[in-house]
Structure 1
Amino acid sequence: MHSRRRFIHAAALAAIGGGLPPAALAQPYPSRPVRLIVPASAGTQIDVAARFMAEAVSRRMHASIVVENRAGAGGMLGAELVAQAEPDGYTLLVAGIPLYLSRWLSDAKAGYDPVKDFEPVAMLCSSPLGIAVAADSPYRTLADLVGAMRQAPDRITYSSGGDGSAAHICAVMLNDMTKTAAKHIPYKGNTPAVTDLAGGRVDFTCQGAGGILPLVKAGKLRALAVTNDQRWDVIPDVPTVVEAGVPGFDLTGWIGVMARAGTPASVVQKLSDAFVQAAGTPEFKSFCDQQQMFVQVQDHRQFAASVPGYAAQLKHLALLARKG
């Protein structure tokens, strides 16, 4: 009788995996393709960065990483997809400032909380902004522009690529910190926003380096200041906003990778290691130079420690933008 029971027990174990414990039966991560969701259209800076990293990380993880563009609603559609995915590390989000701004600027109900529903994996690079005017503008310094906004509130205009864009929030922050006001002229994309600035139809804009540097070099725009904490090597004579007279001003766009909250720590660590290693290569540095971005790498612990500060700043700016 005892022998028969042992036989039945052994047969049952064999049927569920040869008697191995569940942990031993689990397949190592990743065992299938990883989806990398880009909440923007193809060809945008965040999309190009995602495709570079997907190829580099695929080689390191020996797994396929597939980029999927899910543009719409200021990036909220892509963020919602990841927030509602299984927390298993197979659906990741390429994130930036819009992850927070779109949620707090939109009247539409978002299907995610930008802080609680995502687990930071790694920050990859930053994209500082430059405040620019037309080459023939009467404003030759940032102090000139601030003075004009102070003297004639809401008469000075600025262009952006749309509500909640980096240019929009940059100007909101500048107005808030200098106690001035300007009129927002939103466009459907950054290109027309910059084109109309060069044509003199608006007074200033605040755009990424890739958007303004070609026109600065062509003599069609004049850069007044850069928004991060250091000058750009390509235009070393242009001061930071702090140097130009606005203490404490620091606004920089960034690109990072997020997983769904609740993703196993071991999976987050493996992803973080792979993305950090890929972002630390000379090839990525060269890529960022071409895109007018700066390599700014943080692993998942450093990135997670930074997120609350980013979120608080952007929520404050979003609320100010809504009031405006």
Structure 2
Amino acid sequence: MNGGQNQDELSKAASSLVTHISTLTKLKTAVLSPFKDDQVQFRLSIALKLMALPCITLAIAFGFFWSFLKMDLYFFEAYKLSEVTNFQETYYDYILSTVVGLTPLLLSFVAGTLLLGLYISNMVFRPFRTIGQYCEDVVEGKVASYDPEFFSELRLLTRFTDYFFGIVQSMTKNGKLDQVDVPAKYTRIHQPVFEKSFFIQFSLFVLITSIATGIAVFAATVDIHGQILSLAEKTIQVSPAIRQFLERQENTLFEIMIGVMVAHMILHIAFCFHLYNKVAAPAFGIFATFRGFLKGNYGARIHLIGYYYLRPECRKINRYLTWLQKKYT
């Protein structure tokens, strides 16, 4: 009897364990599956790169500043200016208390930078997503409308795509695709065009981050250095010579911070061009494919090597071109 009960209990325990494992597996799949998406990975990579820039700048600035703080401590200890016992411990505790007070603000700033990076990455995707969605709607027989934002998108791509869809729509109404004499302003383009408006638009967001980082660095520097001066006044006899030393040290520190911020601006500019290159070549690839299609190369398809994050949109566009070729040629 007892053996039968034990067997039933073991069976129930095993069944419960299997249920829990299955639930955890489903939860793990639900949590991790979005991160396997190419576009999600790209958005996160852009956001993390943008977030890393101020983090790197703050780390470098803090490294320089920490060296200055140690110099002050050595100066105080060498000349035995303080009568406070365990002055080194008091000194570092005082600094850390100031840093801890600034931590919530810095964490909020970093989180805001991450969100801004996600927004910028979404803005980068927007022209391609608009084209892909239109192509998908047409193939599936839905009411399709292509309405690009000319003042915020890639102008060459959006204008030519609008022209392309308009011409194709007219030809499909007639039931047949014909070769089109593409305007000369489009036929003369043989390489990616620098889109100033698009570049400036997302560069402004990056510039906001850069300025905010500069303000954060200088604010933290002034606050912490001010606390050191306050501690010095409370614990040592501050002679005019010592005050002059601390003031000149502060000026030197500001000069170093300016150098750090110049390097920070250069990093942001490099990031802007890096991000722009992520869209310039694909935009030209789509433009060139559409142009070739209008000229009668109905087998033209988009093949973007290395731009994995645009695969879903390219598949939609290629499916649309295949649909046109099969139905209207």
Q: Indicate the TM-score class for this superposition, using the shorter chain for normalisation.
A: under 0.3
TM-score by length of 1: 0.23
TM-score, with length taken from structure 2: 0.23
User: In proportion to residue count, which structure has more strand?
Assistant: 1
Larger Rg: 2
Greater helix percent: which structure?
Answer: 2
